[in-house]
Amino acid sequence: MLKNKLISHGEFCFKKSDKLRMEFKQPYKYLFILNGANVYILDNQKKTEVSASGNKLFKKISQITISSVNGDILHSKDFSSRILESDNQYLLILTPQSKEIKQFFNLFQIYVSKNNYLVDKIEMDETSGDKTTLIFTEKQVNVPIGDSFFTLK
């Protein structure tokens, strides 16, 4: 719809088994942390804490986010899946089955490197006709990260 793509840059960190930190740094600052059943958001110095356990939609989003990172999403009842492959990548095509996800997304496509089995790219086809793509670069594995990195002080 837009003539130019909107591009944001930042950092994405995952710690087994249920901790995730997504930090947007350019062109704006926004921090999203998922830590077990809790979600923390920092935006314009405003902190928000949400308990995903008390919110069905948040709980679902948390489960999907974590399971897409650790690979469990292939066994999820919320999606039907197909796996394709090329020379250097696997392509996981996930079609939402649950009503909650279907209202937002038509399809997820996850590109996984055959070299290291890490995710290169996630494409999210929205029901609105737009597409959001996450591209992962400069990947590091098994870097020590303290638990405090997944909370807001």
Q: In this complex, which beta carbon is closest to another protein, that of residue 1 or of residue 143?
A: 1
Binding of residue 124 to another protein (CB under 8 A): yes
Q: Does 130 bind another protein (CB under 8 A)?
A: yes
Residue with tokens 């600052």: 29
- Decide: is 146 part of the binding site for another protein (CB under 8 A): no
> Binding residues for another protein, how many (CB under 8 A)?
26
Name the amino acid, one letter, at 23.
Answer: E
Please report whether residue 149 would count as binding another protein according to CB under 8 A: no
Q: Which is nearer to another protein, 105 or 111 (CB)?
A: 105
Residues 15-34 that bind another protein (CB under 8 A): 22, 24, 27-28, 30, 32
| 136 near another protein (CB under 8 A) | no
Q: How far does CA 50 lie from the centroid of its chain?
A: 17
The token pair at 38 is 């809790």
- To 10 degrees, the CA torsion angle through 5, 11, 16, 19? -90
Binding mask 84-113 for another protein (x = CB under 8 A): -------------------xxx--------
Report the distance separating Cα 42 and Cα 150, nearest Å: 12
Least spacing, CB of residue 86 vs another protein, in Å: 25
Among residues 129 and 146, whose Cβ is nearest to another protein?
129
Instruction: Record the tokens describing residue 37, joined without a space.
Output: 């059943």
Whether 22 contacts 12, CB under 8 Å: yes
Q: How many CA atoms lie within 13 A of 126 on its CB side?
A: 8
Question: Of 77, 115, 129, 140, which lies in the binding site for another protein, with binding defined by CB under 8 A?
Answer: 129
Contact 92, 81 (CB under 8 A): yes
